């Protein structure tokens, strides 16, 4: 049995867009969003957007219907189902929120594949308004990591996942992500782990720029088809190592060329011509 934790980012990794950006644009809040983005932290701004939708008479169901239309590559769905059926434990670590993620996963029949979703909590208040809260309460217990936004440090989540996974015999992590917010996670991974950064997205650039800090094996993917192929290959590699017990002496795929390609840590991600998403 492969002792593998597969940890997925959500936006631009499981879905092929950013769920926050998708809802803001699809429900007509782009202008207000752009006006407020310089004044509020992202997480609070999204809560403000939900307030605005409620004041315009949009219901939770409207938001859910909008989320169900987000693009999700069919090969990502089969990759998730295959990894789960091969005995891996699957988790999500995302700076979106529970309502967005669960609505999309349920729509595609994927909720049962995941052991845990680590993201910003959400709730529906007494007025029927969706509220989005920070994962870490940055007033009462700031996470203290200067690489990450105040509401969520993914590196801390990875440390906790490793501690709990170890007690269950899952001692290898495969981390799949695309954004700057995933870099802190990658710094916590070890030689026996793998990182699957999305090709030509900010995480891959950060890994190349800081290659001396990265211990895990790096394998890039660019679309759902490639994600599925590489993920299943890595899982099978780990499983075959279980038999040979010769850990560390293999090269199943050509690792990404870690040449220098400087990208400032503070640079914004130009995900979209109108709305830039910093995670
Ligand atoms: Mg992402
Ligand atoms: Zn961090």
Q: Which ligand number lies closest to the CA of residue 15?
A: 1
Q: Is 205 annotated as a binding residue?
A: no
Q: Where are the alpha helices (DSSP H) in 124-271?
A: 154-167, 183-187, 202-209, 224-244
| 56 part of a folded domain | no
Give the domain range for residue 234: 4-17+72-244
Distance 191 CA to ligand 1 centre (A): 23
Q: Which two tokens stand for residue 72?
A: 């999700």
Q: What CA–CA distance (Å, rounded) separates 12 from 239? A: 28
Res 241: pLDDT: 84
How many CB atoms sit inside 10 A of residue 178's CB? 25
| 132 part of a folded domain | yes
| 121 part of a folded domain | yes
Q: Do the Cβ atoms of 86 and 228 come closer than 8 Å?
A: no
Model's pTM, two decimal places? 0.87
Res 274: pLDDT: 52
| 238 part of a folded domain | yes
| 250 part of a folded domain | no
Distance 53 CA to ligand 1 centre (A): 24
Cβ-based neighbours of 105, under 8 Å, separated by 6 or more:
111, 114
Q: In the annotation, is 9 catalytic?
A: yes
Cβ-based neighbours of 200, under 8 Å, separated by 6 or more:
222
Q: What is the pLDDT of residues 157-208, one digit of tens each?
A: 999 999 987 777 778 999 999 999 999 999 999 999 999 999 999 999 999 9
Q: What CA–CA distance (Å, rounded) separates 32 from 21? A: 12
Q: In the annotation, is 11 catalytic?
A: yes
Number of domains present in the structure of the chain? 1
Res 277: pLDDT: 62
- CATH number reported for the structural domain that contains residue 140 in this entry: 3.40.50.1000
Q: What CA–CA distance (Å, rounded) separates 53 from 63? A: 9
| 36 part of a folded domain | no
Cβ-based neighbours of 263, under 8 Å, separated by 6 or more:
202, 205, 206, 209
| 203 part of a folded domain | yes
Model confidence at 71: pLDDT above 70: yes
Q: Is 95 annotated as a binding residue?
A: yes
Residues within 5 Å of ion ligand 1 by Cβ? Answer: 9, 11-12, 178-179
Q: Which ligand number lies closest to the CA of residue 153?
A: 2
| 28 part of a folded domain | no
């Amino acid at each position: 049995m492969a002792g593998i934790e597969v940890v997925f980012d959500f936006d631009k990794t499981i879905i092929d867009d950013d769920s926050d950006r998708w809802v803001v644009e699809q429900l007509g809040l782009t202008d207000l969003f752009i006006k407020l983005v310089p004044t509020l932290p992202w997480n609070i701004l999204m809560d403000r957007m939900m307030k605005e939708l409620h004041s315009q008479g949009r219901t939770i169901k409207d938001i859910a219907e909008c989320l169900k239309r987000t693009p999700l590559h069919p090969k990502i769905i089969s990759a998730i189902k295959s990894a789960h059926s091969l005995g891996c434990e699957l988790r999500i670590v995302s700076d979106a929120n529970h309502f967005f993620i669960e609505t999309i996963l349920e729509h595609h029949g994927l909720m049962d594949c995941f052991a845990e979703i680590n993201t910003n909590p959400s709730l529906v208040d007494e007025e029927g308004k969706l509220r989005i809260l920070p994962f870490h309460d940055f007033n009462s217990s700031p996470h203290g990591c200067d690489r990450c936004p105040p509401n969520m440090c993914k590196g801390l989540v990875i440390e906790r996942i490793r501690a709990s996974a170890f007690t269950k015999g899952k001692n290898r992590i495969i981390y799949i992500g695309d954004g700057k917010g995933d870099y802190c996670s990658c710094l916590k991974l070890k030689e026996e782990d793998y990182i699957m950064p999305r090709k030509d997205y900010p995480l891959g650039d950060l890994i190349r720029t800081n290659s001396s800090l990265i211990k895990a094996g790096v394998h890039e993917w660019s679309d759902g088809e490639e994600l599925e192929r590489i993920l299943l290959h890595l899982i099978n590699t780990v499983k075959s190592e279980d038999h040979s017990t010769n850990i560390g002496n293999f090269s199943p795929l050509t690792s990404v060329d870690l040449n220098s390609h400087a990208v400032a840590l503070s640079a914004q991600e130009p995900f979209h011509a109108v709305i830039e998403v910093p995670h």
